[in-house]
């Protein structure tokens, strides 16, 4: 679970100013989204509850949102709207101070 939180925080920092995202930052964003896909796959494969009831109840939709965010970041030109929505959903409950 801590891995996902760390990945979301890093993603938030990388996308804080979307206008200044260069190719290196874009690659980092995509790499983090791929890592988040792997992390949520591992959570699903474990088949046991995590310490986060909202993720447990919404793991499928979360995985879909991560995939859609990655696909948006990979487009030419890239679209980071769903990346921001993804991190925003976490920050909404967790205040962003993590």
Reported as a single tens digit per residue, the pLDDT across 45-84 is: 776 666 666 777 778 889 999 999 999 999 999 999 999 9
56/66 Cα distance (integer angstroms) = 15
User: Can you read off the two tokens belonging to residue 22?
Assistant: 């260069």
Reply yes or no on whether the pLDDT at 12 is more than 60.
yes
Q: Which pLDDT score is estimated for 95?
A: 58
* Half-sphere exposure at residue 10, Cβ-oriented, CA atoms within 13 angstroms: 17
Q: What is the pTM of this model?
A: 0.84
Tokens of 2: 């801590």
- What's the pLDDT score for residue 44? 79
Confidence check: pLDDT of 36 > 70: yes
């Amino acid at each position: 679970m801590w891995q996902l939180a760390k990945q979301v925080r890093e993603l938030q920092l990388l996308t804080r100013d979307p206008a200044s995202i260069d190719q290196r930052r874009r690659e980092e964003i995509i790499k983090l989204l791929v890592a988040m896909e792997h992390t949520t796959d591992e959570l699903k494969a474990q088949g046991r509850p995590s310490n986060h009831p909202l993720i447990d109840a919404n793991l499928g939709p979360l995985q879909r949102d991560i995939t859609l965010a990655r696909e948006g970041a990979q487009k030419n030109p890239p679209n980071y709207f769903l990346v921001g929505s993804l991190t925003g959903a976490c920050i909404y409950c967790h205040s962003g101070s993590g």
